Chains A and B, each alone.
Chain A
Amino acid sequence: MHPLSTQLIELGTLGLFAGVVGALTGIGGGLIITPVLTLVLGVPIHQAIGTSLCCVIATSSGAAASYVEHHLANIRLGMTLELATTVGAVAGALVAAKLPRDVLGVLFAVLLTYAGGMMVRRSLHAEKTQSDDVANYAIKHLPVGLFGSGVAGVVSGLLGIGGGPIKVPLMYLVMGIPFKVATATSNFMIGVTACASAFIYYARGDVRLLISAPTAIGVFVGASLGTPVMRRAPSRWLVMLFSIIMFYFALMMIWKSAHGGFAR
Chain B
Amino acid sequence: MARLTQDKSDYAIALVLRYGSLISTLVMTLGLGLMLLRGPAVSLPADHRVRLSLLFPMLLRMDPAAVIEFGVLLLLLTPLFRILVAVVSFSLERDLKYVLISLGVLATVLLSISFAIEG
Contact = CB atoms under 8 A, between A and B. Distances in A.
Contacts of A221: 25
Interface string A197-235: 111101111010110111011001100000000000000
B79 A192 contact: yes
Task: From B14, B35, B71, B104, name the one whose CB has the most chain A CB atoms within 10 angstroms.
Answer: B14
Interface string A129-152: 000000000000000000000000
A58 interface: yes
Interface stretch (A35-43, A60-68, A100-108, A171-179): A60-68
Contacts of B109: 86, 192, 195-196
B65 A202 contact: no
Interface residues of B, number: 53
Contact of A71 (B10, B35, B72): B10
B86 A75 contact: yes
A198 B113 CA distance: 9
Interface string B7-47: 10111011101101110110011011001100010000011
A57 B82 CA distance: 12
A12 B81 CA distance: 26
A57 B79 contact: yes
Interface stretch (A77-85, A109-117, A248-256): A77-85
Nearest to B29: A217
Main secondary structure of the interface of A (DSSP, over half): helix
A199 to B, nearest CB: 4
A240 interface: no
Given A61-B20, A191-B82, A68 B98 contact: no
A199 B117 CA distance: 8
Interface stretch (A2-10, A24-32, A119-127): A2-10
Contacts of A196: 108-109, 112
Task: From B29, B75, B113, name the one whose CB has the most chain A CB atoms within 10 angstroms.
Answer: B75
B48 interface: yes
A86 B25 contact: no
A65 B72 contact: no
Nearest to A214: B32
B55 interface: no
Interface in B60-119: 65, 68-69, 71-72, 75-80, 82-83, 86, 98, 101-102, 104-105, 108-109, 111-113, 115-117
A76 interface: yes
Given A199-B115, A212-B72, A69 B11 contact: yes
B78 A191 contact: yes
30 contacts: A54-B72, A54-B76, A57-B21, A61-B78, A62-B17, A62-B18, A65-B13, A68-B10, A75-B86, A82-B105, A83-B108, A89-B112, A192-B83, A195-B78, A197-B112, A199-B117, A200-B115, A202-B48, A202-B50, A202-B116, A203-B49, A203-B115, A205-B46, A213-B72, A214-B28, A216-B72, A216-B75, A217-B25, A217-B28, A220-B25
A214 B71 CA distance: 11
